[in-house]
Amino acid sequence: MQLLRAGARGQERPALRDGTGALRDLSSIVDDISGPFLSPECIERIRAVDPSALPEVPPGTRIGACVGSVGKFICIGLNYADHARETGKEPPDEPVVFMKATSAICGPDDDIEIPRGSEKTDWEVELAVVIGTRAKYVSREQALDHVAGYCVANDVSERAFQSERGGQWTKGKSHDTFGPIGPWLVTRDEIPDPQNLDLWLEVDGVRRQTGNTRTMIFDVAFLISYLSRFMTLEPGDVISTGTPPGVGLGLKPPAFLRPGQTITLGIEKLGTQAQRTVSA
């Protein structure tokens, strides 16, 4: 299934995308697409509903972030060897883990703000994993059992804030609008192998990133198991799993985003995003 949230910012309602591409309002079935409603039992309750019996979401309604009330937005850095090298770093021996503020989360087609004083705002298409059941000290073999589904993420980053201002990466990753997720959460059953998905991103129609999740250094199952050793993963938590090469920082010469540009990105089977850049 393809689950989403539609409506004005702060007023999103749960919905699903039916076989015709129409969006159907799920408000009579669940309160939201969020942690308490991502359990296998809730997913099966939604699956049992006849979509044609649900009211249609009016065409043109804004699509919001596909998961609401996210508790933790966990990101993995340098998880593609060729991306690590393009940024001047060696591939890591263990996952590089950092947090992105949940206030950065926005809809897949919302405008992206270029922060005040920014000179190095960059793009990163990533596969995001949404947790469906609590995971603590889980094995790699059991890890995917805790996944509710997958979605597209753009881990927008301000490189100077990230690496040239002291401290950790968080302040370069957490500006408002730096975390578009969606358009929909595709449930786990539709993605039997998360390690074979094509990713791409374009800026103003120019292809910048082309990759496949099979080239990750640490795969999704390993990441879930690894993270669950250090923190309990709760339903609704989002894990963004790293980006393939082609970011602005790695271009020769580097190129960064400025107001008035268009970013389009997508992942096989998970949909696409399209954002305009604006001044904060």
Is pLDDT at 241 greater than 90 in this prediction? yes
pLDDT at 83 (0 to 100): 86
99 located within any domain: yes
pLDDT at 168 (0 to 100): 85
Is pLDDT at 61 greater than 90 in this prediction? yes
pLDDT at 232 (0 to 100): 98
Q: How far from 31 is each of 54, 257, 258, CA to CA, in Å?
A: 14, 37, 38
Is pLDDT at 89 greater than 90 in this prediction? no
186 located within any domain: yes
Domain match, 260 and 200 both: yes
**Residue 263 backbone phi and psi in degrees, to 5:** -110, 130
Give residue 27's pLDDT band: very low, low, confident or very high (50, 70, 90): very high
Give me the domain span that covers residue 186: 73-279
**CA-wise closest residue to 70 among 183, 273, 234:** 234
CATH code at 243? 3.90.850.10
Q: What percent of the chain has pLDDT over 70?
A: 100
Q: For residue 207, is it left (φ>0), alpha (ψ between -120 and 50) or beta?
A: beta
Residue pair 116/122 in contact by the 8 Å Cβ criterion? no
Query: Based on the structure, what is the number of domains in the chain?
Result: 2
Domain match, 186 and 84 both: yes
60 located within any domain: no
Residue 184 buriedness (CB in 10 A; 0-12 / 13-18 / 19+): buried
What does the pLDDT average to over 92-112? 97
Domain match, 227 and 275 both: yes
Domain match, 27 and 150 both: no
Domain match, 77 and 148 both: yes
Domain match, 194 and 242 both: yes
Is pLDDT at 95 greater than 80 in this prediction? yes
Domain match, 254 and 150 both: yes
**CA-wise closest residue to 117 among 183, 165, 150, 170:** 165
Give residue 81's pLDDT band: very low, low, confident or very high (50, 70, 90): confident
Task: Write a three-state SS string for 120-165.
Answer: CEECCEEEEEEECCCECCCCHHHHHHHEEEEEEEECCEEHHHHHCC
Domain match, 46 and 94 both: no
Residue 139 DSSP one-character state: -
Q: CA end-to-end span of the chain, whole Å?
A: 35
Domain match, 43 and 87 both: no
pLDDT at 142 (0 to 100): 98
81 located within any domain: yes
Which residue type sits at 138? V
68 located within any domain: no
Domain match, 46 and 126 both: no
Residue pair 224/135 in contact by the 8 Å Cβ criterion? yes
Is pLDDT at 234 greater than 80 in this prediction? yes
Domain match, 111 and 151 both: yes
Name, in order, each residue with C-beta under 8 angstroms of 48's C-beta and a sequence gap of 6 or more. none
What does the pLDDT average to over 143-172? 95
58 located within any domain: no
Residue pair 163/175 in contact by the 8 Å Cβ criterion? no
62 located within any domain: no
Report how far residue 27's alpha carbon sits from residue 31's, in angstroms, rounded to the nearest whole number: 6
Give residue 15's pLDDT band: very low, low, confident or very high (50, 70, 90): very high
Q: Is the peptide bond before 183 cis (omega within 30 degrees of 0)?
A: yes
Give residue 130's pLDDT band: very low, low, confident or very high (50, 70, 90): very high
Mean residue pLDDT across the chain: 97
Domain match, 108 and 26 both: no
**CA-wise closest residue to 97 among 80, 73, 121, 120:** 73
Give residue 87's pLDDT band: very low, low, confident or very high (50, 70, 90): confident
88 located within any domain: yes
